[in-house]
Chains A and B, each alone.
Chain A
Amino acid sequence: MADETHAKAPESGATGSQQAPSGPGSGPRPGGGRPGGGPGGRGKFFRRKKVCKFCTEKIDAIPYRDVRLLQQFVAERGKIVPRRLTGVCTTHQRRLTRAIKQARNIALLPFATRH
């Protein structure tokens, strides 16, 4: 117990009062997990943070003509893959959606697969 109270004090001082209400219950867990797990243990408990392809690769324009690019964000049946699966940011998903819909209109991408 003594260890826990010690550990809590610097934490609440550093991060502010937000953690204080959840302190007693969740306190021991991060304290116990962090030193042992460190960066290696993260993979088990947290999913790898997905990052927006367009932000990281600095792709400014999403043209409807670029079928290769758009195809990465279209599922097998021709659906637009949701953001939560691809990790694309809101702004780029919006533009991507528009581009895909334009490409569908001009028969570059399918509305749905054949058959």
Chain B
Amino acid sequence: MSRLYEVMFIVRPDMAEEDVDKLITGFTTTVTNGGGVVKSVEKMGRRKLAYLVRKFNDGNYVLLTIEAGGPVVLELERRLRVTEPVIKFITVRMDEEEKRLAKLKALRGTRRKVSAEPAAQEAAAPAEASEPAQASA
């Protein structure tokens, strides 16, 4: 059962760029070894943290998008927890959301004209309702 996940983690700010790259390749290999696929790796760069994390004020954000099963994610999370330079991480399941978005998009494509009509009718309705009262008064 393969699902789409987003794994975002923060590397401590005093790590060199090469070391971060090394870390990332380490994580990608754990994913691929477990039978998962790394869809994309995005280094979001250095950002200020909203609160102190392990006495760090900022961190290097990295975003991995992977397609893998539960055990792979479990292993990856275990590794993230063990890896000392990673100060925080979060895994978010995206496939349901993706599905919903695709559905919405399809709906938007077919329904564009229909959605314009009810709005016009609604606008007309209150005007009609107020008219008789005014006419009689």
Give residues in A with beta carbon < 8 Å to B.
Answer: 3, 6-7, 9-11, 13-15, 30-31, 34-35, 58, 60-61, 64-65, 102, 104-111, 114
Identify the closest chain B residue to A98 (Cβ).
B92
A109 to B108, CA, bound (A): 32
**B132, A35: Cβ atoms closer than 8 Å:** no
Check if A34 sits within 8 Å of B133, measured CB to CB: yes
Interface residues contributed by chain B, number (CB under 8 Å): 28
Name the CB-closest residue of A to B87.
A107
Pairwise interchain contact A108-B132, C-beta atoms closer than 8 A:
no
Beta-carbon contact of A107 and B88 below 8 Å? yes
Chain B residues at the A interface, C-beta cutoff of 8 Å:
8, 10, 44, 47, 49-51, 53, 59, 61, 63, 88-90, 92, 97, 101, 104-105, 108, 129-130, 132-137
Chain B residue at smallest Cβ distance from A14: B132
Q: Is the interface of A mostly helix, strand, loop or mixed?
A: helix
- Tell me, rounded to whole Å, the shortest Cβ–Cβ distance linking A63 to chain B: 9
Question: How many whole Å from A67's CB to the nearest CB in chain B?
Answer: 9
**Complex contact B50–A65 (CB within 8 A):** no
Tell me whether B97 and A7 are in contact (CB under 8 A): no
